[in-house]
Amino acid sequence: MQILHISHSDEAGGAAIAARRLVEAQRAQGLDARMLVIERKGKRDFVSQAGSAVRVRLARIAAKRIAHIGARTDKDGMRSLGVIPSGIGAVIRGRSPDIVHWHWVGAESVSLSEMASSGIPCVWTCHDQWAFCGAEHYAPDRRFETGYTDAGIFDIDALTFRRKQAAWRGWNPTLIAPSEWMAKEALGSALMGDRAITTIPNTVDTMVFMPSDTRKTRTELGLPADCKIALFGADNGTSDPRKGFDLLMAALECMPGPSREDITLATFGGGTRATGKLADFDHIELGRFDADGAIAKLYSSADVFVAPSRQDNLPNTMVEAQACGLRSVAFDIGGMGDIIASSEMGALVKPFDVDAFGAAILSSVMKGYDRETVHQAAAKRFGAEPVVDQFKTVYDRLIAERDAST
């Protein structure tokens, strides 16, 4: 069985990392899985670059301007139009794999018609909502349920939705939802609600992301040993409204004064290491981490991971944290409940009650828990073997259906 995974990148962004980790897990279990990308960042031999990166960049610039003009709401939200072919469709047909597995292909990585052109059985992991929305990657409203029937004269989301309807008529990818929330959203959509939809989470290497000695990791990372550490991290997390950093600041400001002496806020994903104060709490920005082993040590050094997102599917950071035995606090939105499935795994807070969020942080850092129990729960749900087995079941079914029809 040859599986060809298609992604915008192999490293740039959470969806790309999740896709590459799945390829690595499948290869480790003997499957012939490879990755085809528009922008290759790493040097792994199973990843190859295809299409015209220059054409994609030019298309991205034009599409961003058009999308901003034509957006009715959330004008600065991420949108992809999928108008100009990148050439990746021809490469897929030339390779003729048994299964095409689509991942995140926004930012004008591919045209809508290219996606449906191969005639090869395919699955599509919904790392966000673009598969069943218009141009939006996260819907600011519920128009994807009704088919954008209230469109204005120039409404880029409605126009893109109609283009998807036309380009994808007769194309039936099996959608993979990393979270139950995403599955429900897709099932309720006018565009993809009648397609096969299966929930399979992203995977993480639980032999890398695993608990290690807290005191030792703090020493290695230069973190204080005599306080509780609340950890926040996301790519551009402090500036992306979806990640809710402003809500975290509001939650910290609501916390009682004495907690400011006991808790340090550590963040990662920013530009460079720095120290200072945020909401009167000691704050350490640790910068970017590229190696999984270094990130795993960071999770092991903390007492709780905080994820105040307004919108999220199944964030890699929370899965990684849990695999390292770290409990999380999050608002009960998106796929957060898939990760925090019980009180042992952390605390889900009513959206967007910042007082309750602050109280949950305080309770979590002051309450002891067994990190190995948290790790084992993550391994059972997100470990390579259970996730790869679920995908193999889907692939086998699609190949059997193809063979039966020929």
Residues 37-67: tens digit of each pLDDT: 999 998 899 999 987 777 888 888 899 999 9
8 A C-beta contact, residue 369 and residue 346: no
The residue count of the chain comes to: 406
69-75 average pLDDT score: 91
Calculate helix-pair angle for 14-28, 384-405, nearest 10 degrees. Answer: 80
How far, in Å, are 281, 358, 363 from residue 277 at the CA level?
5, 17, 22
> What's the pLDDT score for residue 57?
84
How far, in Å, are 46, 120, 121, 188, 196 from residue 171 at the CA level?
27, 10, 10, 18, 12
pLDDT tops 70 at residue 84: yes
229-251 average pLDDT score: 86
**Secondary structure letter of residue 128 according to DSSP:** S
> What's the pLDDT score for residue 93?
92
pLDDT per position as a tens digit, 269-285 = 877 788 889 888 999 99
Q: Can you read off the two tokens belonging to residue 16? A: 């790309």
β-sheet bridge partners, residue 364: none
Cα separation, 115 vs 82, in Å, equals 10
pLDDT tops 90 at residue 291: no
Count CA atoms within 13 Å of residue 76 on its CB side.
Answer: 4
Q: To which residue do tokens 């973190």 refer?
A: 223
pLDDT tops 80 at residue 239: no
pLDDT per position as a tens digit, 97-115 = 999 999 999 999 999 999 9
pTM for the model: 0.93
333-349 average pLDDT score: 94
Helix, strand or coil for residue 354? helix
Q: To which residue do tokens 């309770």 refer?
A: 363
How far, in Å, are 64, 90, 101, 232, 396 from residue 7 at the CA level?
19, 15, 9, 27, 22
